[in-house]
Amino acid sequence: MVDLKGKKALITGASSGFGADFADILAKKGMDLIVTARREDKLNELKEKIVEKYGVNVRVIVMDLTGFDAAEKLYAEVKDENIDMLINNAGYGMYGWFERQDAAALNKMVQLNVVSAFVLANLFAKDFSAKNSGWILNTASFAAFNPTPFYAVYGATKAFLMNFSVALRTELKKQGKNVCVTALCPGFTDTEFVQTANQKRSKLLEMIIGRSYPAAVEAVNALLKNKPIVMPRLMNRFAALFLRFLPRSVAAEAAFMSIRDKE
């Protein structure tokens, strides 16, 4: 059992969903927290709740993490805080036909999902390697395993994040570094994701959607055991295994039929 009491975690995208769940789970284990997102009111509510429940220290940083400079700015804000764990959770999706989407908006999503994540991982991997201790959890997605029509760019960002996480973990392991890296790859989960992505919650989606808190618990446990990938729920693991044996074009067709909103 890893003792996290008195250690400190930085959680991005902490205002709701998985981010807020991670804050609760880690605070329960005795970790002090730095939580960041764009919505100051949500972060302050989270801080009040966490402090009241667990008595740990919580620092709020309100910031839009879109892009390289933003990630560097956040690191500069916290580099002297002796961070022990990075939870790279900030990100969102955009649902729709690719050619009907706005390129500038897609670029902003890529900047957040990919650029800010690998910049923060790079900066903290240096620190964690130097002290030979640390944990990095990157929130990817089930979409990382399959071409995903209507989430074409989002799915690609999550494929990047998953493969990047496993590669980084391998590099650190081969150097004998005591630094753990895990990619969380959940399926559809009952967070703000679907609403933010502007996707309708179909009857099928309502049937398969999972809860975020148990998935977050599973993710933290996997991170502490230095597992490369964690995919909550047996249904998701079975589907991912099944898709591995299909040609990518067929898998994409299957995803198209399951995700498409009726027009």
- pLDDT tens per residue, range 90-125: 999 899 999 999 999 999 999 999 999 999 999 999
- Model pLDDT for residues 59-80, shown as the tens digit of each residue: 999 999 998 899 999 999 999 9
* Secondary structure of the chain in HEC code, one letter for each residue: CCCCCCCEEEEECCCCHHHHHHHHHHHHCCCEEEEEECCHHHHHHHHHHHHHHHCCCEEEEECCCCCHHHHHHHHHHHHHHCCCEEEECCCCCCCCCHHHCCHHHHHHHHHHHHHHHHHHHHHHHHHHHHHCCEEEEEECCHHHHCCCCCCHHHHHHHHHHHHHHHHHHHHHHHCCCCEEEEEECCCCECCCHHHHHCCCCCHHHHHHCECHHHHHHHHHHHHHCCCCEECCCHHHHHHHHHHHCCCHHHHHHHHHHHHCCCC
What pLDDT, in 10s, does the model give residues 224-245?
Answer: 999 999 987 665 565 666 567 6
pTM: 0.88
pLDDT at 263: 45
Residue 167 is predicted with a pLDDT of 98
Active-site positions read 154, 158
Q: What is the pLDDT of residues 39-66, one digit of tens each?
A: 999 999 999 999 999 999 999 999 999 9
In the chain, the domains with their CATH numbers are 8-259 (3.40.50.720)
